[in-house]
């Protein structure tokens, strides 16, 4: 048997080990990060998205051509060549397609990020207030959401773009107004399950105002759901902008986006297939990667899988 001194030393070591384990315990966000890293498809997609984002931000500054320079030396559009650094060829206006694809990527990324941000702000606020207030307020606010759902999506999109015009900032607002409905419903459902928790009742008991409870206690606890849905909203907003640009409601020349380039390339694909191939490839890869990242975040932050 161990001596008394030895037993005390072992107890102290064991206590220190347990204390270290408690201190070094993983937080929910650290656990989610580890789970996300195990998803190879999501990690690879995130790396590709980062590379594409870096390319569209930095690339136009590193190339000798600008997005509106015209090179009429050949007299007609020509395919990819090293001459003049036209690696993607030129478009129907003899402008360098590589620079225009990268500049279009800037607009497309901005549309996706800013449009999603607008949708998240409106959807989270609307859903949290409706779910927390309950009663007639909840019924009235959610009936408005149902009415918005009943409107034909593309018709509503065209009306918004016609009303707001083709200004870039106004396009962000219009696309955000099209994408907040699902977020509002999701946040409302989560709020209904949170508002009966003990910490919410404690906040009521000490006299915290309703708005403070909503935005300081309920919304922060929905951050995981909001992050996941925001990553899903970004490709949806990008795709909506691309469809609107394909219909001629996108950004105005000489600025461009991937949707505008795809629409222009579709008109000339019989004589200049590269005009369609390169912007469509960038758009397709970005949409796939964004969806895989969203799926990875959903799996990593799902409390049922922890």
DSSP letter for each residue of 240-274: HHHHHHHTT-SPPTT---HHHHHHHHHHTTTT-TH
Domain 28-305, what fold?
MetI-like fold (1.10.3720)
**Better-predicted residue by pLDDT, 84 or 235:** 235
State both tokens at 89: 């060829």
Mean pLDDT of the chain: 81
State both tokens at 126: 């609307």
pLDDT at position 304 = 53
Q: Quote the percentage of the chain above a pLDDT of 70.
A: 87
pLDDT tens figures, 2-50: 455 544 454 444 444 444 444 445 566 777 788 888 889 899 999 999 9
Residues 225-241 have a mean pLDDT of 84
How far is the C-alpha of 268 from the C-alpha of 289, rounded, in Å? 28
How far is the C-alpha of 216 from the C-alpha of 233, rounded, in Å? 24
Residues 155-159 have a mean pLDDT of 75
C-alpha torsion angle, residues 152, 157, 163, 166 (rounded to 10): -160
pLDDT at position 18 = 41
Burial string for 249-277 (b: 16+ CB within 10 Å, else e) reads bbbeeebbbbbbbbbbbeeeeeebebbbb
What are the boundaries of each domain within the chain? Answer: 28-305
- Enter the DSSP assignment of 306: -
pLDDT at position 25 = 52
Q: Which of 49-63, 176-190, 196-210, 239-253 has the highest mean pLDDT?
A: 49-63
Comparing 6-20, 47-61, 180-194, 228-242, the range with the smallest average pLDDT is 6-20
State both tokens at 47: 């790396």
- Shortest CA distance to 100 belongs to which of 91, 110, 113, 112? 91
How far is the C-alpha of 162 from the C-alpha of 241, rounded, in Å? 14
Q: How confident is the model at residue 303 (pLDDT cuts 50, 70, 90)?
A: low
State both tokens at 199: 């910490």
Question: Contact at 8 Å (CB) between 60 and 103?
Answer: yes
How far is the C-alpha of 161 from the C-alpha of 241, rounded, in Å? 10
State both tokens at 123: 């959807």
pLDDT at position 19 = 42
Predicted TM-score (pTM) of this structure: 0.78
Q: Which of 154-163, 172-181, 297-306 has the highest mean pLDDT?
A: 172-181
């Amino acid at each position: 048997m161990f001596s008394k001194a030895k037993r005390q030393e072992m107890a102290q070591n064991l206590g220190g080990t347990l204390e270290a384990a408690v201190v070094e315990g993983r937080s929910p966000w650290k656990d989610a990060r580890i789970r996300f890293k195990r998803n190879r498809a999501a990690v690879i997609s995130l790396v590709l998205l980062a590379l594409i984002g870096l390319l569209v931000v930095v690339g136009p500054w590193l190339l000798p051509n600008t997005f509106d320079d015209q090179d009429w030396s050949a007299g007609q559009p020509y395919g990819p060549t090293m001459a003049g650094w036209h690696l993607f060829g030129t478009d129907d206006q003899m402008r360098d397609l590589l620079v225009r694809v990268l500049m279009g990527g800037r607009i497309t990324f901005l549309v996706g990020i800013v449009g999603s941000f607008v949708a998240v702000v409106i959807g989270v606020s609307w859903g949290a207030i409706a779910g927390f207030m309950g009663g007639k307020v909840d019924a009235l606010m959610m009936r408005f959401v149902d009415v918005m759902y009943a409107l034909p999506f593309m018709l509503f999109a065209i009306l918004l773009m016609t009303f707001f015009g083709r200004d870039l900032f106004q396009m962000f607002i219009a696309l955000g107004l099209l994408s907040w409905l699902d977020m509002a419903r999701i946040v409302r459902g989560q709020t209904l399950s949170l508002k009966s928790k003990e910490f919410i009742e404690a906040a009521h008991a000490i006299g915290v105002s309703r708005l403070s409870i909503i935005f300081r206690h309920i919304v922060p606890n929905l951050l995981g759901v909001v992050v996941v849905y925001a990553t899903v909203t970004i490709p949806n907003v990008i795709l909506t902008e691309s469809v609107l640009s394909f219909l001629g409601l996108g950004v105005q020349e000489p600025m461009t986006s991937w949707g505008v380039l795809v629409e222009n390339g579709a008109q000339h694909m019989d004589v200049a297939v590269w005009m369609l191939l390169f912007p469509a490839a960038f758009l397709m890869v970005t949409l796939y990667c964004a969806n895989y990242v969203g799926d990875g975040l959903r799996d990593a932050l799902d409390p049922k899988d922890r």
